Amino acid sequence: MTVEVVVVGSANADVVVRVERRPGPGETVLGSDTVLAAGGKGANAAVAAALQEARVALLGAVGDDQHGELLRESMSGAGVQLDLVRTTDRPTGAAYITVTPDGENTIVVSPGANSAVDVDQVEAAKDVIAGAKVLLASLEVPLPAIERAVALANEAGTRAVLNLSPVAKLSRQTLAALDPLVVNEHEAQWLMDGATDLTKLLDLGPKSAVVTLGSRGALVIEKHGTTEVESPRVTAVDTTGAGDAFVGALITQLAAGDDLAAAARRAVRVAAVSVTRPGAQASYPTRGEVDSARGMV
């Protein structure tokens, strides 16, 4: 199997309920009918990349259950190669999501089968990683597998990108291999012990960094300076998975040879389109849809 991009990360069934407001401690609120959809940070990014016409494979795990079938169908339908996805005896991971009228969400993740992604599975994909142009690692799967995947990519000359969400401490060796490290503002400040100067992220060791800023776009941080990338103004319906849409588009453009700032400019447009539609993977636009929306986003 030969691909341009390998994504190491999670695949979850998203269980979504819309609410007028989030409940407080000990409080019950009524919501909408439950919507079941394909999600997970790894699967989302892989689908976003495939819809932007990257040749992409996901390395992950699902259960032998209906949720696993849902995810396989969604990913394969978008064009993601699934040879590196294993089926385990654990239930498919699930994300329980509430969405408020302003499009903002809260998420609780039950990892399930994602916890079965291990170093041996990554080692078995060594040749595929070495043959790719870009490796994207995202969390919600065990950290040892992520760090080994980044190390293999670095050894092979494959560009290593890591979306550090949910945030966790990484080894200096892993951080030094990243080009870029992708985080949001909250994750960046956690990594920097509360500091607000985002350019200090490079002091942690990555070759470059991208900080996503929600509706304000993104900040690209490189050794020669920073670039502010403004997001198009849109009316958000649902922000679930927008960060994954961004990073999926980012790695697609990096694999195509764009520099980091140019890749980020494309990625903010893809993410902007995604928030105008409900859901995660179901909201992601094709390359043609993004191009045709140029005058609107």
Residues making up the annotated binding site are 12-14, 40-44, 140, 184, 212-217, 238, 240, 243-244, 274, 277, 279, 283
Q: For residue 40, give the nearest of 240, 269, 180, 286 by alpha carbon.
A: 240
Q: Treating both helix axes as pointing N-terminal to C-terminal, what angle do 66-78 and 41-51 enclose, rounded to 10 degrees?
A: 30
Cβ-Cβ contacts under 8 Å for 229 (sequence gap 6 or more): 217, 218, 219, 220, 261, 264, 265, 268
Pure H helices in the chain: 41-51, 66-78, 119-124, 126-131, 143-156, 172-177, 185-191, 242-255, 260-274, 287-292
Residues of the binding site for ATP: 184, 212-217, 243-244
Q: For residue 168, give the nearest of 150, 206, 195, 141 by alpha carbon.
A: 141
Q: Is 244 a catalytic residue?
A: yes
Q: Which of 179, 244, 259, 291 is catalytic?
A: 244
Residues of the binding site for K(+): 238, 240, 274, 277, 279, 283
The catalytic residues are 244
